[in-house]
Amino acid sequence: MKTLLARGWAKLPHDPRLADWAARAAEIARDAIESDEHSQQWQCDKTWFVGVDVLHNAPDGSIGDVSLAGRAVEELTALYGAQHWHRAQVSVVRPGYPKPRAGESDAAFRYRQHRDAAHVDGLLPVGDKRRRHLHEPHGFILGIPLNETSPDAAPLVVWDGSHLIMKQAFEQVLGGMTDARERDTDVTDAYQSARRRVFDACPRLELHARPGEALILHRQVLHGIAGFADTATAPPEGRMIAYFRPQLAEIPDWLALP
Ligand SMILES: [Fe+2]
């Protein structure tokens, strides 16, 4: 996990145990994305299925008799302890992405087109002015590809090493605070100026992976989704990735953990 801590992301090699899980998850995901129950999850003119909490895995991550296992799971458990695996997100992107999201401003759509809608997870917009607050402190993000695509099919994008710049910026506004005060603190200005420094300083990388491989992101790394290129290929359902981002029990751990 040295790479995760040094660069803010890691790609783990093929593991047959994770490939088994991905194959089972893909079967369920293909049905879920077409069901009426989840039709509201389609955004951006039906080119992006957000898919939060869509996969009905058990709290140990298993789906039926297929357990969530493999090197990525073992290494994350060694670093951050045993996890309660919430229902995974199933993120699906189809040809044509990006298109404007309903209600999205021109500026926000340009940011989606030109900056991959780059963000740090867990900083939720609060109130009319959508000021950012740390309300969902995740421990890490684990991405598990569910199908085979070309590398230019809306890959996950990461700014290499950006978690270090972000961490320093958030320590300046949140460092030493209690749980409640961190929740109530507006971090918008620190976040936006750190993001500008990241765009100047950190290389933008497109991360592609295949079923059986895993992508792990540090909780403070700046990341987004690239467009689905005209030349890209994917199965009819689109490019599908399952994501876990277990929440930390204590907000201060968001800054304190490695
Ligand atoms: Fe994200």
Which mean pLDDT values do the consecutive 10-residue runs of the chain (258 residues) have?
Answer: 94 98 98 95 96 96 98 97 97 98 94 97 95 97 98 98 98 91 95 98 98 98 98 98 96 94
**CA 219 – ligand 1 centroid, Å:** 9
Exposed/middle/buried for residue 224 (C-beta within 10 Å: 0-12, 13-18, 19+): middle
Please give the sequence-ordered ranges of beta strands (E in DSSP) within the chain, or none if there are none: 9-12, 42-43, 48-49, 89-93, 123-126, 131-134, 140-145, 156-159, 204-207, 214-218, 223-225, 239-244
Q: Give the CA distances from residue 176 to residues 5, 94, 255, 256, in Å, rounded to whole numbers and listed in that order.
A: 22, 43, 10, 10
**CA 156 – ligand 1 centroid, Å:** 9
Q: What phi, psi does 179 have (nearest 5°)?
A: -50, -50
The residue among 73, 209, 88, 185 whose CA lies nearest residue 135 is 185
**CA 117 – ligand 1 centroid, Å:** 9
Q: In this structure, which CATH number among 2.60.300, 2.60.40, 2.60.120, 2.40.128 belongs to the domain 2-249?
A: 2.60.120
Distance CA(210)–CA(13), nearest Å, equals 9
Distance CA(249)–CA(81), nearest Å, equals 12
Whole-number pLDDT of residue 180: 86
**CA 224 – ligand 1 centroid, Å:** 6
Q: Give the CA distances from residue 237 to residues 1, 37, 240, in Å, rounded to whole numbers and listed in that order.
A: 32, 17, 8
The residue among 151, 246, 213 whose CA lies nearest residue 22 is 213
**CA 206 – ligand 1 centroid, Å:** 14
**CA 178 – ligand 1 centroid, Å:** 25
**CA 120 – ligand 1 centroid, Å:** 6
Residue 245 CA, chain-centre distance (Å), reads: 7
Distance CA(201)–CA(63), nearest Å, equals 41
Provide DSSP, 181-209: HHHH---HHHHHHHHHHHHHHS-EEEE--
**CA 37 – ligand 1 centroid, Å:** 23
**CA 125 – ligand 1 centroid, Å:** 14
